[in-house]
Amino acid sequence: MDKKQQDELKNKAAIRAAELVEPGMKLGVGTGSTIAFFIDALGKRKKEEGLDLEAIVTTSSRSKKQLEKWGFTVNELAEVDQLDLTIDGADRVDVNFDGIKGGGGALTMEKNVAANSEKVLWIVDESKLVDRLSGFPLPVEILPISCEQNFRRFRNDGLNPSWRMDGNKRFVTHYGNYIVDLNVDPIPIPRGLDDYLDKVVGVVETGLFLDMCDEVIIARSDGEIEDRE
């Protein structure tokens, strides 16, 4: 499938997801190319039907800018008690709806928004569906203060880390941290890795999203849009 076809599918799935947004909702909006289509579909609903939301929170400056272009007022997560629904993309989703996210480096915001949402829906194309979490490095956001020690620890523990780069410099997150991508493929025991990373001082957040997603809209290569709950 070429990029044009893939974008058409992403757009179709994004339009379906935008139809699930109800007036008056408190909505979380993720980050990425699929979500860019979703924001446009949501913006069109605002323009054509006057769709009004009680609050909208997002996970990157890029999504914020796009939402504001459509006339949405974007809130900070801390200002909103509990979101009703968060719609986001994902890099991989397994059969249990566990996923890898953070390809765009926004994993910390994305996980905080998802964790404070009643329901989480991901929009993905078929290529991201896997039996076991695999085929995509696991992003881990780490504090600069102990980044070299943590990088060595991951290497010594066989997690094949690589620094996320932005040109010839280390990629810096919204919060001023670094991202290390762990090349573990497949992730044999996601919960075990999650527990291990949880105990590493200096790890801010990881791209392992376990037990967070409730619904997945899948753009299939045959043109069908599948909604799994």
Binding site residues, ligand 5RP, CB under 6 A: 30-34, 88-91, 101-107, 110
Cα 168 to Cα 7, 14, 46, 147, 165, distances in angstroms? 29, 34, 41, 17, 6
Residue list for the binding site: 31-34, 88-91, 101-104, 128
Shortest distance in whole angstroms from residue 103 CB to ligand 5RP = 3
> In whole angstroms, what is the distance from residue 54 CA to residue 83 CA?
10
Shortest distance in whole angstroms from residue 83 CB to ligand 5RP = 16
What are the tokens at 64? 């914020």
Residue 118 a catalytic site member: no
Shortest distance in whole angstroms from residue 32 CB to ligand 5RP = 3
What are the tokens at 215? 């619904």
* CB-nearer residue toward ligand 5RP: 26 or 111: 111
Q: Which of 107, 205, 203, 109 is nearest to 147 (CA)?
A: 203
Cα 147 to Cα 83, 162, 181, distances in angstroms? 33, 12, 13
* CB-nearer residue toward ligand 5RP: 7 or 146: 7
* CB-nearer residue toward ligand 5RP: 102 or 137: 102
Shortest distance in whole angstroms from residue 66 CB to ligand 5RP = 13
Shortest distance in whole angstroms from residue 31 CB to ligand 5RP = 4
The backbone torsions φ and ψ at residue 12, rounded to the nearest 5 degrees and listed phi first, read: -60, -45
Kindly report the length of the chain: 229
Q: Which of 110, 118, 141, 215 is catalytic?
A: 110
* CB-nearer residue toward ligand 5RP: 54 or 227: 227
What are the tokens at 209? 């999203």
Q: Which of 104, 79, 81, 100 is nearest to 91 (CA)?
A: 100
> In whole angstroms, what is the distance from residue 141 CA to residue 122 CA?
21
CA angle 82, 229, 182 (to 5 degrees): 75
> In whole angstroms, what is the distance from residue 151 CA to residue 148 CA?
5
DSSP state of 61: H
Residue list for the binding site for substrate: 31-34, 88-91, 101-104, 128
Q: Which residues are catalytic?
A: 110
